[in-house]
A = this chain, B = another copy of it.
Amino acid sequence: MASSSGANTEQPVDARVVRTRNDILGAALDVLIEQGSAAVTHAHLAKMAGYSKATVYKHWPSRADLLRDAFTRLGDMPHHIPTGDLRTDLIRELTTFRTGMDEQRLDRALAVLVDLTTSEPQMIQVRNKLARDGEQIVRELLQPYLRGSRLEAATLMLCGAVLHAALMHGEPPSKRVIAATVDLMLSALDVDQSV
């Protein structure tokens, strides 16, 4: 249980503050994914993360701030460093999304986030940033081959294949389907696939 002393004084961002924020935001994501967004309240998170309600309020005066920061953490997915082989790099990147859907239940978090953009307009920015960051590597990998509407379409097709399976089928695509997705795209790009 963290002390709530000094709750009313400004403090530099030290390791303790970072840990407190991380604990509470981690609890917020867990609650969001397991119990839905309605369960994300200051009182419930204080209990889950083992801090006082005052501490949660101190860091996030409003629930909207709290949700914004929790979703921003979702964007911190590890991306691979490109190897230079387009097929390998695209498969790795789509596999990163797949792992996020499986292990972090990114699918449920994204569904909640989209739902929240209706009632909390500031979530639109959070969603846009998450989409931009998530798509960035795929877009960069495709950029030497495509531009304009074709680059946009190809990015949507690759990222969308993983999202659609996770959200609408309840599980992200298998390794075989991810490989087939990338191979169809490479055929479209007419890239030399011989090893």
Chain A interface helix/strand/loop/mixed = helix
Are A128's CB and B170's CB within 8 A? yes
Give Cα A160 to B153, complex, Å: 11
Give Cα A164 to B165, complex, Å: 11
Q: Which of A9-17, A41-49, A109-117 contacts B (4 or more CB under 8 A)?
A: A109-117
Give Cα A191 to B169, complex, Å: 28
Report which of B37, B153, B164, B180 forms a contact with A177, defined as CB distance below 8 A. B153
Q: A149-B179, A160-B156 are in contact. Are A124 and B36 (CB under 8 A)?
A: no
Give Cα A160 to B157, complex, Å: 6
User: What would 13 more interface pairs be, CB under 8 Å, given A150-B184, A154-B180?
Assistant: A110-B168, A111-B115, A149-B179, A149-B180, A150-B180, A156-B160, A156-B161, A156-B162, A156-B165, A157-B181, A160-B160, A160-B161, A164-B164
